[in-house]
Amino acid sequence: MADKNQGNIKIDIELCTGCRRCAEVCPVDAIEGNDGSSQSINIDKCVMCGQCIQICSAYASVFEEYPTSREKKLLERNLPETLTEPLFAAYSIGDLPKVKEALANSAKFTMVQCAPAVRVSIAEEFGMPLGSLVPGKLAAALRQLGFNKIYDTNFAADLTIMEEGSELVQRITEGGTLPMFTSCCPAWVKFVEREYPELIPHLSSCKSPQQMAGTMFKTYGAEKDSIEPENIFSIAIMPCTCKKFEAERPEMNTSGYQDVDAVLTVRELAYLIKEVGIDFNSLLESSFDKPLSMYSGAGHLFCATGGVMEAAIRTAYEMITEEPISDVNIQYVRGGQGIRRGVVKAGDLKVKTVVVSGLKNVVPILEEIKQGDADFHFMEVMTCPVGCVSGGGQPKMLLPKDNDISFKNRISSTYRHYEDQIYRKSHENPEIKAIYQKFLGEPLGQKSHHLLHTEYTPRREGK
């Protein structure tokens, strides 16, 4: 059985051995309990990043009996009855039943989006080498599962850069709260709302790519497919367990409906593919549907730490200078856990940036800002170790050494895929240009601001 706390991330007290490995990786000290005793999660502190799930090594042994049967545990976790892999103590509640119900309902028009990190990790669930790049097989699997439209979150990442880059330039040139923080990572946003509510004005008002895509599905997508928005069921495939929390935020409904109706992690998608008997490795490559799927290399970089910053700098630079940036590859933002600072000269303006990977690393910088000592314009923060490629919803590695290899290989595949793209800058994506011309108007315009931006709020206990 799970702990008594409500929330997406849970610990099964029947399986937990009290090793406290989860507490060691928790960035917000939300894991509570004594050594050797079952742990619990303080849901008020928890940012639902799922790193506890990734490191948990306590599982249900076939040689032991537990008060709660395996069948009931599967039901509690919303997992298929056919699942054969071990059940670990730390887990997240899944959305598979909702998605299967929507797929089986002929009255629902299903639109699915895939985050950039999914295509560099999903193949691992089917025995392929760590970090295999399989966008074509991913699209083919989703098509066989019966989704009506298969779109790409990478497109919405380019859309995010158009809005976020414009917002940054506006704050710098016209006066606004600085430094500006990225708002793509929902765990980071929740952390600011809970622990540093006085710094909420520093967060970009942009929705994340997941939520922007969900909004576009039920507005522009509905128009293109002549579907009533209320009949659209929007699904996101994500490497992140906190994306489930983000999708349920009451603010995420500017289309007039919930932007995203269900979120499946990479592991959940793999369970579904296996449950219906699809031979993933033998799939012939397919493609994503137009128009909400064309993306630039910049949009794809969102899944690696520094990627949002790199994409934003390219676009912001050209907005400020009205000249092409000399080198699109901004190497200093790339790397692993920690803090990376740099300066980009855009005309007469020196744009100072900070990239933070690993949520614990951001606290000293936030304290600097509170004290008025921070001297920079823009900060990207990713909660997970090396960005979304290491998210809590990614395939689980049983050996620590495999974690390091998988992170390295997923990042390598990310940049290889980036290099393969025709366009490297979000604002050069022809479909992005078209959607502003045909539907949104201009970045930060009345319509785009209404649909693609949001507000954040301080969180009290129990919120």
The rounded distance, in Å, linking the Cα atoms of 185 and 389 is 13
Residue 364 CB contacts under 8 Å (≥ 6 apart), including other chains: none
Averaged pLDDT for residues 123-141: 98
Topology of domain 1-93, CATH: Alpha-Beta Plaits (3.30.70)
Q: What are phi and psi of 262, to 5 degrees?
A: -155, 150
Q: What is the pLDDT of residues 282-307, one digit of tens each?
A: 999 999 999 999 999 999 999 999 99
> Could you tell me the residue ranges of all domains in the chain?
1-93
From the list 190, 207, 243, 396, the catalytic residue is 243
Q: What is the pLDDT of residues 248-288, one digit of tens each?
A: 999 999 999 999 999 999 999 999 999 999 999 999 999 99
pLDDT at residue 3 in the model: 40
From the list 121, 204, 296, 390, the catalytic residue is 204
From the list 137, 388, 413, 426, the catalytic residue is 388
DSSP string, 326-362: S-S--GGG--SSEEEEEEEEETTEEEEEEEEESGGGG
Does residue 1 surpass a pLDDT of 70? no
pLDDT at residue 463 in the model: 54
Sheet holding 109-114, edge to edge: 149-152, 109-114, 232-238, 262-265
Instruction: Compute CA 204 distance to the chain's CA centroid, rounded to the nearest angstrom.
Output: 16
Is 438 among the residues known to form the active site?
A: no
Whole-angstrom distance between the N-terminal and C-terminal Cα of the chain? Answer: 24
Is 184 among the residues known to form the active site?
A: yes
From the list 163, 164, 268, 310, the catalytic residue is 164
Does residue 152 surpass a pLDDT of 70? yes
Plot region of 225 (φ>0 → left; ψ -120 to 50 → alpha; else → beta): alpha
pLDDT at residue 213 in the model: 98
From the list 124, 125, 163, 246, the catalytic residue is 246
From the list 46, 52, 184, 185, the catalytic residue is 184
Is 251 among the residues known to form the active site?
A: yes
Residue 221 CB contacts under 8 Å (≥ 6 apart), including other chains: 111, 149, 151, 227, 232, 292
Is 246 among the residues known to form the active site?
A: yes
From the list 124, 125, 163, 167, the catalytic residue is 167
The rounded distance, in Å, linking the Cα atoms of 217 and 201 is 28
Is 204 among the residues known to form the active site?
A: yes
451 is written with which tokens? 């649909």
Does residue 6 surpass a pLDDT of 70? no
Average pLDDT score, the chain: 95
From the list 76, 195, 248, 251, the catalytic residue is 251
Q: The whole model's pTM is what?
A: 0.95
Is 164 among the residues known to form the active site?
A: yes
Q: What is the pLDDT of residues 384-395, one digit of tens each?
A: 999 999 999 999
Q: What are phi and psi of 402, to 5 degrees?
A: -70, -30
